[in-house]
Each structure stands twice: as C-alpha cells, then as structure tokens.
C-alpha cells in the first residue's frame, strides 16, 4: 500500500541538525508516510545518521549522489517518492507532531487544492522563537484568494517546511527548476498556483531555523540574481494585468540594484556594470528611488527602534 505522504529531505553536510529533523518526522501523530532522503554529496556524517534510522526500521528511501545542487536533489527525491503528496522538510528545520495530521485533514476538506501550506515559527539555535511567517491574521484557513498574483506581488510567504504538494501537479509544472540554486521552491510554488488552488492552514505546524550557514545567509548575490531572472521569465511567459507587471518590474529593478551593489563591493566591477546596464533605465531607477528606497529606510528605522527597546 502506498503512503499518503513522501517526506522529502535533501541533505548536504547536514550532520549538525539532521538527527533533530528526522526525529520530528518520527514523532508525527499521523503515521502514513515514508521519508525520501537524498544526500547531495555530503562529506560529513550525514550518511551514518540516515543509516542509523534505517537500521532501526524507519521507512526511509535513501539515495546518495555526487553534488548536483539543491534543485537536482529535490527532483531526485520526487522521482523516488511513492506517495501522492510531497511534504518538504529541509535538513535543518523541524515539524510539530500534529503537522501531517492537520494537513491530511485539510486535503480531505479541500480536495481540489494541489498545494497546501501553514504558518511556522522562525527560531534560533538557542531555541528562541523570533517571529512567525504569517503575522497579524494575514490569511484565514482555506483556499487562498488570488494565490498566483499574491505570490508574484507579495513575495514568497510559503515557508517550504510547511509545504505539501500534489506530486502529479508538480510534475505537470516541470518539477523543480535546476537553473536555480536558491529560489527553487518559490519558482515551483508560483508555477503550481498558476493553474491550481492553494490552501492555507492557519496553525503553526513547523519551525524554520535561522543560522549563519543557511542559503539565505551565504547566497545573497545568487538570490538577487535569480529573482531577476525568474521575474523576467514570468513577464515573458504570462499575460498579466498592467499593475502586476509594474510591480514585477519594480522587483526586477530592486534586485538588480542589490545584486550590482554586492558585486561592486566584491570588486567585480565589470559584472556589476554589465548586469545593471542591461536592466536599469532612468524610469525604473526613478520608481525605485520613489517607492523602494523610502520603504527600506522605514524598515531600517523600525529595526533599530525595536532593538533599542529589546
């Protein structure tokens, strides 16, 4: 009998956190799952940790490959998965015990949805919770209105460790794009939401770990570049309303400025200028100065004020 969920864990030198991650899956109150763990060329103790749990009878399908990157590991895990639903869990994040049960019930309530997600906590290695992903009652439980447009204009509000994806829908969208190293999941969420309902569960079901080694900390230039490339592709691919296209162009400008500034700071003047010249015209820069810069200044002041009173 096939499991309902295939829990996808992709690893690269994951020995520091992997044990806790696996234990959070084993602790699920809903037991109809398998784990699919892809080791993307780790050189540490990742494999021995996985085999320890396999020897104890935990239902794990394990595959080791030469380092091919995040998206390739994601796609290999999908290929090996037997369940209808792909539940993403990165090697440094954890689930609360009721996570799969809550989302199995949501799948039953909203059978048309092909992508489910929930709220999550951001936490430090100390265990301290910093914030939640969805704050202030932003979404209500159920089918999310205009999910595709909102993902384009509001950023990626889906934390991957809460995401559950219909495997067939994911394959029909082309799987995970191996062109990208950082925005792999965001790109997949956008493609799925274009043609399928997205369901949100207004409950905290997972924890997203903040640490200095994660991709969002060490791959900033790559991240900015990939945002630009993805949004340019979206403008070419989809017939979008004028206001949505304008907001996407603003994001292209903003991320182009950030990318070029980072490369300039690294002394890579040629790369910085060639990227900027191709994408930054006087009109887009004027909009950036009028819209993005004041918002950035406001966020900086708010952050400083918050730290002062903590």
pLDDT tier for residue 308 given thresholds of 50, 70 and 90: very low
| pLDDT per position as a tens digit, 13-63 | 999 999 999 999 999 999 999 999 999 999 999 999 999 999 999 999 999
Query: Mean pLDDT in the chain?
Result: 90
- pLDDT score of 274: 80
Contact 117, 162 (CB under 8 A): yes
> pTM here?
0.88
- pLDDT score of 310: 45
Q: Is the pLDDT of residue 309 over 50?
A: no
C-alpha 101/C-alpha 104 separation (Å) is 5
| pLDDT per position as a tens digit, 200-226 | 999 999 999 997 665 554 578 899 999
- pLDDT score of 204: 97
| pLDDT per position as a tens digit, 173-205 | 999 999 999 999 999 999 999 999 999 999 999
b/e 250-287 (16+ beta carbons within 10 angstroms → b): bbbbbbbbbbbebbeeeeeeebbeebbeebbeeebeee
For residue 35, what are the β-bridge partners? 7, 60
Evaluated on CA atoms 81, 18, 220, 301, the torsion sign reads positive
| pLDDT per position as a tens digit, 55-111 | 999 999 999 999 999 999 999 999 999 999 999 999 999 999 999 999 999 999 999
| pLDDT per position as a tens digit, 255-288 | 998 888 888 888 888 877 788 777 776 666 566 5
Interacting residues of 121 by C-beta distance below 8 A, sequence separation 6+ = 129, 130, 131, 132, 133, 204, 206, 207, 208
pLDDT tier for residue 305 given thresholds of 50, 70 and 90: very low
**3-class DSSP state of 36:** strand
Q: Is the pLDDT of residue 292 over 70?
A: no
Contact 13, 44 (CB under 8 A): yes
The DSSP result for 156-195, as a single string, is ----GGG-EEEHHHHHHTTSS-TT-SSSHHHHHHHHHHHH
Domain 5-211 classification at class level: alpha beta
Q: Is the pLDDT of residue 304 over 70?
A: no
- pLDDT score of 290: 61
Residue-range domain boundaries for the chain: 5-211, 219-293
- Give the tokens for residue 236: 């070419």
- pLDDT score of 213: 61
Residue with more model confidence, 132 or 211: 132
């Amino acid at each position: 009998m096939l499991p309902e969920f295939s829990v996808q864990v992709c690893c690269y030198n994951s020995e520091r956190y992997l044990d806790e991650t696996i234990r959070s899956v084993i602790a699920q109150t809903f037991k109809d799952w398998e784990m699919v763990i892809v080791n993307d060329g780790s050189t540490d103790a990742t494999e021995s940790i996985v085999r320890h749990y396999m020897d104890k009878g935990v239902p794990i399908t394990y595959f080791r490959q030469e380092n091919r990157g995040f998206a390739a590991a994601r796609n290999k895990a999908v290929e090996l998965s037997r369940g209808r639903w792909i539940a993403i869990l990165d090697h440094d994040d954890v689930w609360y015990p009721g996570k799969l049960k809550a989302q199995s019930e949501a799948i039953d309530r909203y059978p048309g949805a092909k992508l489910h997600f929930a709220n999550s906590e951001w936490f430090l290695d100390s265990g301290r919770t910093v914030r939640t992903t969805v704050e202030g009652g932003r979404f209500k439980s159920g089918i999310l209105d205009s999910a595709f447009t909102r993902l384009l204009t509001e950023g990626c509000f889906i934390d991957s460790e809460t995401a559950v994806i219909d495997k067939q829908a994911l394959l029909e969208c082309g799987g995970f794009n191996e062109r990208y190293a950082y925005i792999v999941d965001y790109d997949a969420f956008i493609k799925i939401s274009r043609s399928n309902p997205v369901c949100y569960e207004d409950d905290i079901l997972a924890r997203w770990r903040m640490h200095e080694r994660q991709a969002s900390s060490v791959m900033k230039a790559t991240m900015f570049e990939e945002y630009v490339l993805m949004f340019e592709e979206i403008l070419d691919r989809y017939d979008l309303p004028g206001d949505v296209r304008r907001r996407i162009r603003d994001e292209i400008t903003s991320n182009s400025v950030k990318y070029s500034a980072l490369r300039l700071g690294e002394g890579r003047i040629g790369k910085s200028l060639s990227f900027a010249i191709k994408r930054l015209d006087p009109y887009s820069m004027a909009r950036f100065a009028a819209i993005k810069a004041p918002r950035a200044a406001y966020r900086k002041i708010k952050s400083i004020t918050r730290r002062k009173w903590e």
